[in-house]
Amino acid sequence: MRKFKLAIVGATGAVGLEMIKMLESRNFPVESIKLLASERSVGKKLTYNSKEVTVELLAKDSGKGVDITLFSAGSDVSKEFAPFFAADGCFVIDNSSAWRMEKDIPLVTPEVNPHDLKKDKKLIANPNCSTIQMVVALKPLHDFAKIKRIIVSTYQSVSGAGQKGINELTKQVKAWAKGKSIPAANKFQYQIAFNLIPQIDVFTENGYTKEEMKMTNETKKIIGDNSIEVSATCVRVPVFRSHSENVWIETEKPISPQQAKDLLSKAKGIQLMDEPESKKYPMPLFAENMQTTYVGRIRSDISTKNNALTFWIVSDNLLKGAALNAVQIAETLVKQNLV
């Protein structure tokens, strides 16, 4: 089997570290790996497949001779450096929001739209974490019954805000447990410990946040249907890892809860966890460090006679919501002989 030369930009960050783990655990055919970061991380030692790798400084020519690069260093870094990597013939899989809504750049969730990957499209966008887990569950339902409308409320963990979000919740909980004053919020708008914050990212003119509009716009692009109406409310919750979502859909064709369960039980990347009589349903506790998107609480909407279902989705936002999906895109490039 052919092996490939890889690079990871932002290798020392929360998602970058998970990318390394995913490449290892999924036995990606790696010939060599280059770990890249900013000046403050240069010289750090990380381990890949039991071998020590020194973190190097990201530069515009770092992509020369590299087959695939996974970027997870934020939009500004991606905008500055990713085009140089792509120009050098390297496939770039970018985890930031920099390129997601660019018309000619594929926005890919492999279970949904692998056909959007092309040999001549070197720059590929990894979708938003909350969008990924939702569209994986929506795809089989949309293919069967055609989704007309989606209303989703998310319950997003602090790791979605990176290591600083994790650190802030940790410090606040530790202070509370010791009977001390809870430290003032820094990363988040308000104290996150024992609280919910109904704001992720900044508000736009229509009253929705950027995070909510990402879910609206990205869902349409990934599924490939601009007629789908989407309304999202995104909430930060005091959970370290894994995002949860309550999703309501209206479909053109009738679809029963049992039909939905049958479809989802056969869908790639999905594990059905729907036995309410036994108290079996998805929770962040189960999803952490798992490469699966869990779906449960599937039921018909009793408030309308329209074709409507509601269900609950949980997935590890650092894995399927970021690192795993990026690695799966790389795997798909290999499988389709594009790289």
Angle at CA of residue 288, ends 286 and 292, nearest 5°:
80
> How far apart (Å, rounded) are the C-alpha atoms in residues 211 and 203?
9
- Name the pTM for this structure: 0.95
Please write the tens of the pLDDT for every residue from 183-222.
999 999 999 999 999 999 999 999 999 999 999 999 999 9
Q: Output the pLDDT for position 196.
A: 98
For position 130, what pLDDT does the model report? 97
Q: Per residue in 226-237, pLDDT tens? A: 999 999 999 999
pLDDT of amino acid 1: 79
Give the residue range(s) of CATH 3.30.360.10 domains in the chain: 131-318
CA dihedral 8, 14, 19, 24 (to 10 degrees): 120
Q: CB-based contacts of 275: which residues, under 8 Å, 6+ apart? A: 281, 296
Say which of 90, 142, 234, 243 is annotated catalytic: 243
**Are 70 and 331 in contact, with CB atoms under 8 Å apart?**
no
Q: How far apart are CA 25 and CA 323, in angstroms?
A: 12
pLDDT along the chain (339 residues), means of 10: 95 94 97 95 95 96 97 95 97 97 96 97 98 98 98 97 95 98 97 98 98 98 97 98 98 98 97 97 97 98 96 98 98 97
Question: Which H or E run contains 143?
Answer: helix 129-145
* Angle (deg, nearest 10), helices 210-223 and 129-145: 40
Q: How far is CA 321 from CA 50, 86, 128, in A?
A: 26, 23, 7
What is the pLDDT, as a whole number, of residue 339?
Answer: 94
Task: Name the average pLDDT for the chain.
Answer: 97
Sheet holding 68-71, edge to edge: 56-57, 30-37, 4-9, 68-71, 91-94, 123-125
Pick from 278, 273, 314, 324: nearest CA to 293: 314
Give the per-residue pLDDT at 236.
Answer: 98
Kindly name the residue from 90, 129, 142, 234 that is annotated as catalytic.
129
The yes-or-no answer on residue 243 being catalytic is yes
**What is the DSSP-derived secondary structure letter of residue 109?**
-
Contacts (Cβ under 8 Å, ≥6 apart) of 206? 213
- CA gyration radius for the chain? 20
Residue of 179, 158, 161, 181 lying closest to 170 (CA atoms): 158
**What six digits make up the tokens of 14?**
């929360």
Q: Which residues of 103-131 are buried (b: 16+ CB within 10 A; e: fewer)?
A: eebbbbbbbbbbebbeeeebbbbbbbbbb
Q: CATH for 131-318, among 3.40.50.720, 3.60.20.30, 3.30.360.10, 3.40.50.300?
A: 3.30.360.10
Q: Is the dihedral of CA 16, 156, 317, 148 positive or negative?
A: negative
Q: Can you tell me whether residue 158 is helix, strand or coil?
A: helix
Q: What is the pLDDT of residue 156?
A: 98
Residue 174: C-alpha distances to residues 38, 167, 171 (Å): 31, 11, 5
In sequence order, the β-bridge partners of residue 7 are 34, 69
Residue with tokens 């497949």: 49
DSSP annotation of 84 reads H
β-pair partners for 147: 251
Which residue spans of the chain are classified as CATH 3.40.50.720? 4-127+322-335
Provide the CATH number for the domain formed by 4-127+322-335 in this structure: 3.40.50.720
